[in-house]
Structure 1
């Protein structure tokens, strides 16, 4: 189709110039907004208020969505933009530092503080003006001196080393808080209470080392001993923006067998199956829908990491084997329905699971829509 408007190029250039000017103004506005949010962070830091304010965030979204609707714009678009802006705002506010909840804390020692997750906590404690020391493998000959005046000792080593490390922490100051960051809780708590007569708490950060901050992140807390003596530590985590979720150690481990172990095991099995079938991953990526691409991303992401990390999680608890066997049995149950061409039985199971999810099914459907849109936008292949 030929262009019938001789001034088309001129008009298009003029409109694009106008868009460029608007975009330039947007950059200036964003710079101004970032400057103000940085001041907010400094102000909050000066009085010890947490950076994240859920009520303020919800109110802001509601107001801007209404404003967008009145202006004929998509409320979802405006909320997406705001969420992205606020994520950067939290990072800028995070740079202002944090209130030190317990100025009387003499020293925090992180065993494994140079590891990926340990380093996250070392950085946060330092930005809250705590004195922080690190113990790595080569530091054990000097560990007695390092630990002598510790107020908090956090064990941040791989699961397979946790018990051994805790065993060496049997001469801590009486009032020292002993905590661990492993993804299982019953065994480490037992070992910590055996090694140390003072306050003990089991912690499980539900995030990885690539976080830019703890805002909206969850830290699971399992009571060990003398919880009143470590409450200030949990409060410090909330000042950093984390949500504390208290739970009994055995409940934690049961939940993790589903949240982590089953997820990791089934992902590894799926990746193994794709490889064994000789699947052409380039073609799978090219032909994938957004949701399957996201599935491939999560599978591939796992195989880009340290296999011993996942082996430690899966092999940590012998009861995980029973859970995985039950999963395999249910897999075979559904496979039998397919083999027998029994669609009614298959649909019945589907509906039972749907009823079990209840309102969460619809909530997750809506939540996944924005995730899939973002996943599609980030495609590189």
Structure 2
């Protein structure tokens, strides 16, 4: 199998290049500056062409890449949102389109490597299976979903985690008088948010703005804050404990 990676010098591009190569795939990579002359030899003969580029430059990259693809080649991406990228890829490429979202970063900390797969309208089952096989060869666990389902989930898991952390820490910022009162639990929250806000903020901002479900997620969160402002904190605590349900609570094994 030949896999072409457009954007192979980025953090995720480097990770995938290394792992696909180690799995025995023929890997061809190309990165900036992208021109027809640099892209053509990379994508020629590739079974799957994977775009490892930010969502905001997807259309620009496709304007160069898509004219060089045959209708038989499978076009995929790894962006963290899916509705708009899928629309853009299908507008540029007449062949099969399969969206993917590796739900792990460029420095995975464990062997749990889930990948969401969103089949495009022009993709046959064989095309989707081919993309799934690519990721399974490098130890990933794939599951299929729709672009809409993906973006709703991503808005809640990634987007809301980002925006609620930003809002909380921005609320407390520039209050020097708070510093003597900092607790270990607050420091743990700072530590958890440090990389997201000091290194990856632009990435998460882009994901939040590109996801059509982001505002619905914020409105849902605000409704729960309203419960807290009414004094019904116990209701929130009871609901939040869902994450630590036991075998008996759920009538089955923990998932």
TM-score, reference length from structure 2: 0.84
- C-alpha distance in 2, partners of 1:164/1:363? 49
**Counterpart for residue 182 of structure 1:** 79
Larger-gyration structure (1/2): 1
- SS of structure 1 residue aligned to 2:65: coil
**Counterpart for residue 342 of structure 1:** none
- C-alpha distance in 2, partners of 1:318/1:174? 29
Judged with a 3 Å threshold, the aligned counterparts in structure 2 of structure 1 residues 281 and 240 are, in CA distance, closer, same or farther, namely farther
2:43 aligned with 1:156: no
Aligned residues of 2:35 and 2:64 also touching (Cα < 8 A)? no
Deviation of 1:363 (Å): 4.8
Q: How many residues align?
A: 243
* Runs of 5+ unmatched residues, structure 2: 248-255
**Counterpart for residue 43 of structure 2:** 147
Aligned residues of 1:203 and 1:219 also touching (Cα < 8 A)? yes
- SS of structure 1 residue aligned to 2:112: coil
- SS of structure 2 residue aligned to 1:138: coil
Aligned residues of 1:271 and 1:299 also touching (Cα < 8 A)? no
Judged with a 3 Å threshold, the aligned counterparts in structure 2 of structure 1 residues 279 and 149 are, in CA distance, closer, same or farther, namely farther
**Counterpart for residue 362 of structure 1:** 245
Judged with a 3 Å threshold, the aligned counterparts in structure 2 of structure 1 residues 354 and 322 are, in CA distance, closer, same or farther, namely closer
Judged with a 3 Å threshold, the aligned counterparts in structure 2 of structure 1 residues 297 and 260 are, in CA distance, closer, same or farther, namely same
Deviation of 1:200 (Å): 1.6
2:168 aligned with 1:270: yes
Aligned residues of 2:98 and 2:131 also touching (Cα < 8 A)? no
Judged with a 3 Å threshold, the aligned counterparts in structure 2 of structure 1 residues 234 and 322 are, in CA distance, closer, same or farther, namely closer
| Aligned pairs (5 A) from 1:303-322 | 303-322=197-216
Aligned residues of 1:150 and 1:173 also touching (Cα < 8 A)? no
**Counterpart for residue 18 of structure 2:** 123
> Relative to total residues, which structure has the larger strand share, 1 or 2?
2
- C-alpha distance in 1, partners of 2:59/2:176? 41
| Aligned pairs (5 A) from 1:1-381 | 105=1, 107-142=2-37, 143-171=39-67, 172-211=69-108, 215-224=111-120, 225-278=123-176, 284=182, 287-289=183-185, 292-335=186-229, 337-338=230-231, 345-351=232-238, 353-354=239-240, 357=242, 360-363=243-246
- SS of structure 2 residue aligned to 1:133: strand
**Counterpart for residue 31 of structure 1:** none
Deviation of 1:361 (Å): 2.5
> Relative to total residues, which structure has the larger helix share, 1 or 2?
1
- CA displacement 1:196-239 (0-9 Å, x = unmatched): 222221100000111267x3210111111123134133123223
Deviation of 1:151 (Å): 1.9
Aligned residues of 1:222 and 1:248 also touching (Cα < 8 A)? yes
Deviation of 1:305 (Å): 1.0
Please give the root-mean-square deviation of Cα atoms over the aligned residues, in Å: 2.5
- C-alpha distance in 1, partners of 2:212/2:85? 15
- C-alpha distance in 1, partners of 2:193/2:155? 18
- CA displacement 1:96-116 (0-9 Å, x = unmatched): xxxxxxxxx2x3211111000
Deviation of 1:272 (Å): 1.6
If asked which structure has higher relative contact order (CA below 8 Å, sep 6+), I would say 2
TM-score, reference length from structure 1: 0.58
- SS of structure 2 residue aligned to 1:168: helix
* Runs of 5+ unmatched residues, structure 1: 1-104, 339-344, 365-381
